[in-house]
Structure 1
Amino acid sequence: MKKLFLPLALFGLSLTLQAQEYEFQTIKDLDTTPVVSQGKTGTCWSFSTSSFLESEIIRNTGQFIDLSEMYNVRQVYPLKIDNYITRNGKTQFGQGGLAHDVINSIRHNGIVPIEVFSGKLGKEEYNHTELFKVLKSVLDAYTSSPTISANWKPITENILDTYIGKPITEFTYEGKKYTPLSFMKKVGINPDDYITITSFKNQYPYKPFILNIPDNFSNGSLYNLPLEEYIANIDYALDQGYTLSLDCDVSEVTFSAKHGVAFIAENSEDNNKGLTQIISEKQITEQLRLEEFYNYNTQDDHLMHITGKVKDQKGNVYYKVKNSWGNNSERIGNDGYIYMSVAYMKLKSISVLLNKKGLQPNTAKKLAIQ
Structure 2
Amino acid sequence: MKNNLLILVFSFYASLLFCQSYEFKTIIDLEATEVLSQGKTGTCWSFSTSSFLESEIIRLTGNKIDISEMYNVRNTYPKKAWNYVMRQGKAQFSEGGLAHDVINSISENGLVPANVYSGLPKGKNIHDHEKLINNMKIVLDEYLKNPKAYNGNWKKDIDNILDEHLGNNITNFEFNGEIFTPLSFLEYTKINPKDYITITSFTHIPYYSNFILNIPDNFSNGTFFNVPLEDMVSITNHALKNGYTIELDCDVSEKTFSSKYGLAVIPNTEEDTMNILSKIRPEREITVAYRQQEFENFNTTDDHLMHITGIVEDQNGNRYYKVKNSWGFDSARVSNGGYIYMSEAYFKLKTISIMVHKNAIPKALLKT
TM-score (ref. length: structure 2): 0.95
User: Against the structure 1 CA distance between its residues 160 and 25, is the aligned structure 2 distance closer, same or farther, given a 3 Å change threshold?
Assistant: same
Aligned residue runs from structure 1 range 341-360, under 5 A: 341-360=343-362
Q: Which amino acid aligns with 1:60?
A: L
- Specify the alignment match of 1:53 in structure 2: 53
Alpha-carbon distance, 1:319 to partner: 0.3
Aligned residue runs from structure 1 range 155-304, under 5 A: 155-304=157-306
The correspondence for 2:315, drawn from 309, 313, 328, is 313
- Specify the alignment match of 2:85 in structure 1: 85
> Quick check: 1:38 aligned with 2:31?
no
Alpha-carbon distance, 1:18 to partner: 3.6
Q: Which runs of 4+ in 1 moved over 4 A?
A: 8-17
Q: Which amino acid aligns with 2:43?
A: T
Q: Which amino acid aligns with 1:40?
A: K
> Quick check: 1:136 aligned with 2:130?
no
Q: In structure 2, what is the Cα distance between the partners aligned to 1:30 and 1:10?
A: 39
Secondary structure of 2:276's aligned partner: helix
Between 1:14-23 and 1:193-202, the stretch displaced more is: 14-23
Q: In structure 2, what is the Cα distance between the partners aligned to 1:26 and 1:167?
A: 41
Alpha-carbon distance, 1:121 to partner: 2.3
Between 1:218-227 and 1:82-91, the stretch displaced more is: 82-91
User: Against the structure 1 CA distance between its residues 28 and 146, is the aligned structure 2 distance closer, same or farther, given a 3 Å change threshold?
Assistant: same
Secondary structure of 1:357's aligned partner: helix
- Specify the alignment match of 1:127 in structure 2: 128
CA contact (8 A) 2:196 2:357 kept: yes
> Quick check: 1:330 aligned with 2:332?
yes
Q: In structure 2, what is the Cα distance between the partners aligned to 1:190 and 1:13?
A: 52
User: Against the structure 1 CA distance between its residues 277 and 145, is the aligned structure 2 distance closer, same or farther, given a 3 Å change threshold?
Assistant: same
- Specify the alignment match of 2:3 in structure 1: none
Q: Which amino acid aligns with 1:70?
A: M
Q: In structure 1, what is the Cα distance between the partners aligned to 2:16 and 2:31?
A: 37
Q: In structure 1, what is the Cα distance between the partners aligned to 2:321 and 2:12?
A: 33
Aligned residue runs from structure 1 range 103-118, under 5 A: 103-118=103-118
Alpha-carbon distance, 1:130 to partner: 1.0
Aligned residue runs from structure 1 range 3-18, under 5 A: 15=15, 18=18
CA contact (8 A) 2:30 2:309 kept: yes
Q: In structure 2, what is the Cα distance between the partners aligned to 1:14 and 1:350?
A: 33
The root-mean-square deviation of aligned C-alpha atoms, in Å, is 1.7
Q: Which amino acid aligns with 2:361?
A: L
Alpha-carbon distance, 1:31 to partner: 0.3
User: Against the structure 1 CA distance between its residues 9 and 244, is the aligned structure 2 distance closer, same or farther, given a 3 Å change threshold?
Assistant: closer
Q: Which amino acid aligns with 1:50?
A: S
Secondary structure of 2:367's aligned partner: helix
Q: In structure 2, what is the Cα distance between the partners aligned to 1:133 and 1:238?
A: 40
Q: In structure 1, what is the Cα distance between the partners aligned to 2:214 and 2:166?
A: 29
Secondary structure of 1:274's aligned partner: coil
CA displacement, residues 89-145 of structure 1 (integer Å, 9 cap, x when unaligned): 111001000000000110010001001000012211101111111111221121122
CA contact (8 A) 2:18 2:279 kept: no
**Count of residue pairs brought into register by the alignment:** 360
Q: In structure 2, what is the Cα distance between the partners aligned to 1:10 and 1:196?
A: 44
User: Against the structure 1 CA distance between its residues 357 and 9, is the aligned structure 2 distance closer, same or farther, given a 3 Å change threshold?
Assistant: closer
Q: In structure 1, what is the Cα distance between the partners aligned to 2:278 and 2:112?
A: 40
Q: In structure 2, what is the Cα distance between the partners aligned to 1:277 and 1:14?
A: 13
CA contact (8 A) 2:17 2:316 kept: no
CA contact (8 A) 2:22 2:315 kept: yes
Q: In structure 1, what is the Cα distance between the partners aligned to 2:31 and 2:355?
A: 17
Unaligned regions of 5+ residues in structure 2, if any?
A: 1-7
- Specify the alignment match of 1:5 in structure 2: none
Q: In structure 2, what is the Cα distance between the partners aligned to 1:15 and 1:113?
A: 52
- Identity fraction in percent: 56
Q: In structure 1, what is the Cα distance between the partners aligned to 2:107 and 2:167?
A: 20
